[in-house]
């Protein structure tokens, strides 16, 4: 195996040069002794002296393999250790099969160590109209974290507030719309999932974010400060927020959103855009024109975009419509 030997003080420069020339061999280990560093290369290269060395193969272990190695449980149980997890800042959430509940401490510790997390929680779903997650700590006791996405800081308590990783595309998209000069109302603001990217990147004239869960509202305000953006935050049920003919654009980031449409229409100017999220069955999806007519039939509307964001549950889909409305 051809290796290049270089003095230690020169090693970083040489490593970058080998990478640039694409001759560093990724399959063998780089190693060093007291004076020199040895780089495996894929071919002889005239710029350097080559030494024939029996190098060691590099073992590419992914984090999951490392986690499995670290958990001290019977091998036949290891296949139930979750292969997927969510990491928000330095907090990990995972779904754990009941079979492994007796070993949850060991499992939490292994995930924490390999993923460099301060806390690990079992995620058991979200509950109620406030969409509060049901979680259990299996390592650590503090789930307040700052998750960075698309240059935005989202601070929240992951044990008490949801963050949907599946909505990432939509959060990013909201930052890309041109909302210059617009007044925007986010009716289900949460910790600022959509309000923050809009306020930061979309040049709105004003963003009003309504949230009725005091805990989410607390983090919404924290995030406004952290991201240094201008948002008017309102702690209220959006059905009790009395402004009319005010917004150019309304975000309805919720599920079972239909009953909130009349309230959105009151807040909207005579014409404007609604980003309407909802959870529809496959049947509703297959008859979407009829479904849209049922919801928005009292208005003149134009569907600018229809998108299935993700599968929400078996046969249930999270859909997002950008719909232009003109009140008649």
Task: Give the footprint of ligand SAM on this chain (CB under 6 A).
Answer: 129-131, 162-164, 167, 188, 190, 193, 210-213, 216, 237-239, 253-254
Quickly list H helices, the chain: 11-20, 63-70, 75-78, 104-115, 168-176, 195-201, 214-226, 261-267, 282-286, 288-296
Of 92 and 264, CB closest to ligand SAM: 264
Alpha-carbon distance of 271 to 74, in angstroms, equals 63
Cβ–Cβ < 8 Å for 183, 158: no
Give me the least distance between CB of 138 and ligand SAM, in Å please: 23
DSSP 192-224: TTTHHHHHHHS--SEEEEEE--HHHHHHHHHHH
Of 49 and 169, CB closest to ligand SAM: 169
Of 23 and 208, CB closest to ligand SAM: 208
Of 103 and 156, CB closest to ligand SAM: 156
Give exposure, 76-88, as e/b (b: 16+ Cβ within 10 Å): eeeeebbeebbbb
Can you read off the two tokens belonging to residue 11?
């090693």
59 three-class SS: coil
Residue 133 is inside which H or E element, if any? strand 132-139
The widest CA-to-CA distance across the chain, in whole angstroms, is: 82
Give me the least distance between CB of 62 and ligand SAM, in Å please: 27
Give me the least distance between CB of 129 and ligand SAM, in Å please: 5
Contacts of residue 264, defined as CB under 8 A and 6 or more positions apart, other chains included, come to 187, 250, 252, 274
Give me the least distance between CB of 239 and ligand SAM, in Å please: 6
Give me the least distance between CB of 88 and ligand SAM, in Å please: 11
Of 105 and 151, CB closest to ligand SAM: 151
Give me the least distance between CB of 73 and ligand SAM, in Å please: 33
Of 11 and 295, CB closest to ligand SAM: 295
Cβ–Cβ < 8 Å for 290, 246: no
236 three-class SS: coil
Alpha-carbon distance of 281 to 296, in angstroms, equals 18
Cβ–Cβ < 8 Å for 111, 139: yes
Of 107 and 234, CB closest to ligand SAM: 234
Give me the least distance between CB of 132 and ligand SAM, in Å please: 8
Closest of 106, 120, 242, 229 to residue 179, by C-alpha:
229
Of 38 and 193, CB closest to ligand SAM: 193
Give me the least distance between CB of 84 and ligand SAM, in Å please: 18
Give me the least distance between CB of 56 and ligand SAM, in Å please: 46
Of 48 and 263, CB closest to ligand SAM: 263
Alpha-carbon distance of 211 to 195, in angstroms, equals 11
């Amino acid at each position: 195996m051809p290796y290049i030997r270089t003095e230690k003080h020169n090693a970083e420069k040489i490593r970058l040069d080998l990478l640039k020339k694409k001759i560093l061999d990724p399959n063998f280990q780089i190693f060093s002794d007291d004076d020199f560093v040895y780089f495996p290369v894929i071919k002889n290269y005239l710029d350097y002296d080559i030494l024939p060395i029996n190098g060691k193969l590099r073992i590419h272990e992914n984090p999951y393999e490392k986690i499995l190695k670290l958990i001290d449980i019977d091998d036949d149980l290891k296949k139930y250790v979750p292969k997927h997890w969510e990491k928000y800042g330095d907090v990990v959430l995972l779904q754990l099969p009941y079979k492994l509940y007796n070993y949850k401490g060991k499992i939490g510790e292994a995930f924490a160590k390999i993923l460099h997390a301060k806390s690990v929680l079992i995620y058991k779903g979200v509950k109620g109209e406030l969409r509060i997650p049901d979680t259990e700590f299996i390592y650590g006791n503090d789930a307040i974290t700052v998750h960075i996405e698309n240059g935005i800081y989202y601070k929240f308590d992951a044990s008490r507030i949801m963050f949907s990783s599946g909505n990432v595309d939509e959060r990013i998209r909201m930052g890309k719309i041109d909302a210059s000069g617009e007044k925007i109302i986010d009716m289900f603001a949460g910790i600022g999932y959509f309000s923050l990217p809009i306020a930061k990147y979309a040049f709105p004239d004003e963003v009003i974010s309504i949230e009725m869960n005091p805990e989410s509202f607390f983090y919404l305000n924290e995030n406004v400060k952290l991201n240094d953006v201008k948002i008017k935050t309102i702690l209220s049920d959006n059905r009790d927020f009395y402004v009319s003919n005010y917004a150019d654009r309304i975000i309805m980031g919720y599920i079972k959103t239909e009953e909130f449409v009349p309230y959105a229409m009151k807040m909207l100017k005579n014409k404007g855009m609604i980003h309407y999220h909802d959870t529809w069955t496959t049947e509703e999806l297959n008859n979407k024109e009829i479904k849209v007519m049922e919801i928005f039939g009292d208005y003149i509307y134009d569907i600018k975009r229809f998108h299935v964001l993700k599968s929400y549950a078996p046969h249930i889909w999270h859909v997002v419509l950008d719909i232009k409305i003109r009140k008649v």
